[in-house]
Amino acid sequence: MCKHFLVLMIVLTSGGFAAGQRTRTIVYDGIATEVSVSAAAANDLWITTSDLMRATRFAIKPQGICRDELCFPLPKNRKAEFLARKDATNWFNLTEFARLIKQPYVVDQKNAVWYFGSPAAEQNRYLASLEAPNFTLPDLNGKLHSLSDFRGKKVLLVTWASW
């Protein structure tokens, strides 16, 4: 999370583009990539299919939008919301895809930056397994303990926050 925030801050402070320009910066999986965007795009981010592959590693295949073995089929009755062809260029609506897979995103229009967070499936992987992520903290005497040291034992985690 901190790594992604740092990348976003670097991109936002490195200077942006005027709102009328046809390039934008996408931060996807913590990597910033400059892409071309459709001039007709109003509130959605339409990028070329080659930029889709370059920025996200997703490709359009007959079975859907795929990256490695992971594929998301597009609803047949909504294909026009995801794919378009204009002047011999294939365009893909990345924001509509993010909404389909429940992936959070945020846009900074002033600096022409779009940041895409982790998809809901990835965010919920710990809930599906009911296994807490490992962490290490010191006890009152300063000795370090990791949660993984207690695997197979009952553990009560007490947390508190002032906010």
Residue 25: give the domain boundaries.
Answer: 2-123
Residue 145 lies in a domain: no
Answering whether pTM is above 0.75, one says no
pLDDT higher than threshold 60 for residue 2: no
Residue 23 lies in a domain: yes
Residue 94, phi-psi category: left (phi > 0), alpha (psi -120 to 50), beta (remainder): alpha
- Would the CA dihedral through 33, 45, 24, 39 be positive or negative? positive
Give how many domains the chain has, as a whole number: 1
Residue 158 lies in a domain: no
Residue 148 lies in a domain: no
Residue 75 lies in a domain: yes
Residue pLDDT, tens place only, 24-36: 899 998 899 999 8
Residue 7: phi, psi to the nearest 5? Answer: -60, -45
Residue pLDDT, tens place only, 101-156: 989 999 998 888 999 988 766 656 656 666 777 888 888 898 998 999 988 888 88
Residue pLDDT, tens place only, 94-112: 999 999 998 999 999 888 8
Residue 141 lies in a domain: no
Under DSSP, the state recorded for 37 is B
Residue pLDDT, tens place only, 40-96: 667 899 999 999 999 999 999 999 999 988 899 999 999 999 999 988 999 999 999
CB 11 within 8 A of CB 108: no
Residue 18 lies in a domain: yes
Residue 7 lies in a domain: yes
Answer with the residue of higher pLDDT: 161 or 4: 161
Residue 33: phi, psi to the nearest 5? Answer: -135, 135
